Chains A and B, each alone.
Chain A
């Protein structure tokens, strides 16, 4: 059974810092990996999608990498802003199911 772990569970940084969120998964037979953002009490918004054959994806200040063989992904956020405060979830698709991690709660302090 696929298990997804995210470290750290919570992170608080001052505005302007660069930061890295980590995601690990136990079964390397994934179809893809995605990073989502969730604001309090809201649904999920997809940030980046990395297919299993890809190594990284970039969107604006966000960069996600994937190392399938080691079962790891990182989300890099450059020049963090208070508006980046949210919970960040990674999810992998194995078989035909999405498996989510428990998330990293990010607070960016002005």
Chain B
């Protein structure tokens, strides 16, 4: 059984560009959550997807958007990148019925905005 994987590992973009980050959830997991972790900070909840629908959102602007696909993999899209978007982006998947208890985290994508 493979764990949660994320791609790419690292990414460098410039201000104003758009970026797409990808997450493959663990087999059988139907809930995916995305977090932003700035350097020296704890993860901040961006949003959660359950069976292809957004199922909760943190305090992030609309330029942060997401998708979940029928195979439960997910994308995080960020438009009009800003310098403050530089962070480690983590996704986490949860088995059915456990999304408030159990999250398996991927290794993250390190995004640098210049």
Q: Which residue from B42, B100, B108 sits with its C-beta under 8 Å from A101?
A: B42
Contact check, B108 vs A98: say whether CB atoms are below 8 A apart: no
B102 and A100 within 8 A (CB):
no
Residues B90 and A97 in contact, CB atoms below 8 Å apart: no
Q: Is the CB of A32 within 8 A of B101?
A: yes
Q: Given contacts A42-B108, A43-B90, are A98 and B41 in contact (CB under 8 A)?
A: no
- Which residue of the partner chain, among A42, A45, A46, A96, contacts B48 with CB atoms under 8 Å? A96
A100 touches B43 (CB 8 A): yes
Min CB–CB distance A11 → chain B (angstroms): 15
Closest chain-A Cβ to B16's Cβ sits at a distance in Å of 27
Query: In the bound complex, how far is the Cα of B110 from the Cα of A4, in angstroms?
Result: 24
Are A98 and B101 closer than 8 Å at their CB atoms?
Answer: no
Closest approach, in angstroms, between the C-beta of A21 and any C-beta of chain B? 13
**What's the tally of chain A residues with a CB closer than 8 Å to chain B?**
22
Task: Find out whether the CB atom of A103 lies under 8 angstroms from the CB atom of B107.
Answer: no
A41 within 8 A of B: yes
Q: For A93, list chain B residues within 8 Å (CB).
A: 100-101
Chain B contact residues, CB within 8 Å of chain A = 4, 33, 35, 40-45, 48, 55-56, 58, 88, 90, 92, 99-103, 105-108, 110
Additional 12 contacts, C-beta under 8 A, given A41-B107, A42-B108: A4-B42, A41-B108, A43-B92, A43-B106, A44-B105, A95-B56, A96-B48, A96-B56, A97-B45, A100-B43, A101-B42, A102-B42
Which 6 pairs show the lowest CB-CB distances between chains A and B?
A100-B42, A43-B105, A44-B105, A102-B42, A43-B107, A100-B43
